Amino acid sequence: MTLLDDVVAILAHEGVDHALVGASALAAHGVSRSTLDQDLLVVDRRTLEPTFWVSLGRDTAVDARRGDADDPLAGVVRITRHGERVVDIVVGRDAWQREVLSRAQMLAGHGVRVVEPADLILLKLYAGGSQDRWDIEQLLALDPAGAITAAVDTRAGALPQASRDLWAQLRPHP
């Protein structure tokens, strides 16, 4: 089993809703981008406790960092094991992130759920970096019928104003 498999097994055992985000989710939706880690979104703050990950064993390092009051995330947990891809647990704190997780679908043959394209765009708008912009453009290029755009339009109201402003800049216009 891989580190990702072990992490997903613990999350499932503990009843923590989770899904792939980041470059791995992009790849699942047809956008190829190089990355050295695999990202999972959760909203359960128990994952920020080092004791939550004890069953990974001593050969696995866990670095949990809590976000402060101004941080848009509750925290991030970086999990490393020699010779394996890093797994980052992104711990959200908002209701809209729970909704993103509720819509995630099982990735065929992988035993892990992945967020859908419109929700991946929401997460990228929320992060707002230059790589995130490129990722959004790549996802939108796969959406000639406009279904992803329409879903983002419907859901973007839950995002902070800066994220909605970014969507107004990046949104395709007929």
Task: Determine the pLDDT at residue 68.
Answer: 92
Quick one: 67 and 141 in the same domain?
no
Q: What is the side-by-side strand order in the sheet with 60-66?
A: 60-66, 75-81, 86-91, 37-42, 19-21, 112-114, 105-107
Rounded distance between C-alpha atoms, residue 85 and residue 79, angstroms: 9
Task: Determine the pLDDT at residue 144.
Answer: 87
Could you tell me where the DSSP H helices lie in 48-160? 95-103, 117-127, 130-141, 147-155
Model-wide pTM > 0.85: yes
Quick one: 79 and 135 in the same domain?
no
Quick one: 20 and 34 in the same domain?
yes
Give the pLDDT of the chain (174 residues) as one tens digit per residue: 899 999 999 999 999 999 999 999 999 999 988 788 899 999 999 999 989 999 999 899 999 999 998 888 999 999 999 999 999 999 999 999 999 999 999 977 778 999 999 999 999 999 999 999 999 999 999 988 999 999 999 999 999 999 999 999 999 987
**Which string of DSSP letters, residue by residue, matches 17-74?**
--EEEHHHHHHHTT-----SEEEEEE--GGGGSGGGGGGG-TTEEEEEEE--TT-SSS
Quick one: 92 and 9 in the same domain?
yes
CATH number at residue 15: 3.30.460
Domain that holds residue 86: 1-115
Quick one: 102 and 171 in the same domain?
no
Quick one: 22 and 87 in the same domain?
yes
